Amino acid sequence: MRPTLIYMFLLTLSLAAAVSCNEERELTIADQEAAIDAYITQNYSEYPVVRRNGSNRIDLDTAAVEVMDTLVFGDTLHFYYAGYVFTSAPSALFATNSESVAEANSFTVTDPDFSVEEVVFTEDCLVNGLVNGLYGVREGGHYIILFSAKYGFYNSYVYNIPKMSALIYEIWVERVIKKD
């Protein structure tokens, strides 16, 4: 075989493998989104659900609805969180800044210097799934935010989160400071 022909064969083989991997990832994401929808329907049908750009936010504390101001870009958000890998339900806790959640799960607080997370809320301050899920939350609110790997860390292994993991966060909003 001539070198050019060998090169073309290897290139074709590489492209075929890449297409196959992408199709497999897209099927995984579709399965995750179906599992998220089923989980919400089975466990939270009586709660308000907001769907925004791939994120699903369940409002567990309707009392917070009385607060007029909602979180928008440029505001500062103070919150507690517990992050879990999601399969067909929450599974492995991978991060929290809540001492009570950490203690209940025999886990170490992710950042012991942070008693409450403080974030200036922008389009890229957190992973897309959290940004999309947090947009519009209210001070005093308690939420569940779920999203597929497409809106999380996708095909990257981050900290102790496996590649292609759907994620679920429990969020307790302590304070929203409106931008001036």
3-state secondary structure of 50: strand
* Long-range residue pairs from 50-53, CB within 8 A, at least 24 positions apart, any chain: 50/133, 50/136, 52/132, 52/133, 52/135, 52/136, 53/128, 53/132, 53/151
For the chain, the distance separating the N- and C-terminal CA atoms, rounded to the nearest angstrom, is 70
Identity at 61, one-letter amino acid code: D
Task: Give the pLDDT band (50/70/90) at residue 19.
Answer: low
In this predicted model, what pLDDT tens digit does every residue of 122-178 receive, in sequence order?
999 899 999 999 999 999 999 999 999 999 998 888 888 999 999 999 999 999 999
DSSP letter (8 states) at residue 64: G
For the chain, the domains span 10-17+22-177
Give the mean pLDDT of 53-58. Answer: 96
Q: Give, in order, the Cα–Cα distances in Å from 147 to each of 5, 81, 105, 112, 135.
A: 45, 15, 22, 26, 14
Closest CA to 161 of 97, 104, 83: 83
Greater pLDDT, 46 or 154 = 46
C-beta of residue 152 within 8 angstroms of C-beta of residue 127:
yes
In this predicted model, what pLDDT tens digit does every residue of 80-120 receive, in sequence order?
999 999 998 888 899 999 989 999 998 888 776 666 778 89
CATH class, domain 10-17+22-177, is: alpha beta
- State the pLDDT at residue 180: 76
pTM: 0.83
Task: Give the pLDDT band (50/70/90) at residue 59.
Answer: very high
Q: How far apart are CA 84 and CA 88, in angstroms?
A: 12
Task: Give the pLDDT band (50/70/90) at residue 5.
Answer: low
DSSP letter (8 states) at residue 80: E
Identify the bridge partners of residue 37 per DSSP, sorted by sequence position: none
- State the pLDDT at residue 21: 73
Phi, psi of 14 (to 5 degrees): -65, -45
> In this structure, what token pair is assigned to residue 114?
């942070």
Instruction: Tell whether the model's pLDDT for residue 72 goes beyond 80.
Output: yes
Q: Return the residue matching tokens 């999601």.
A: 86
Q: How far apart are CA 152 and CA 167, in angstroms?
A: 7
Give the mean pLDDT of 27-49. Answer: 95
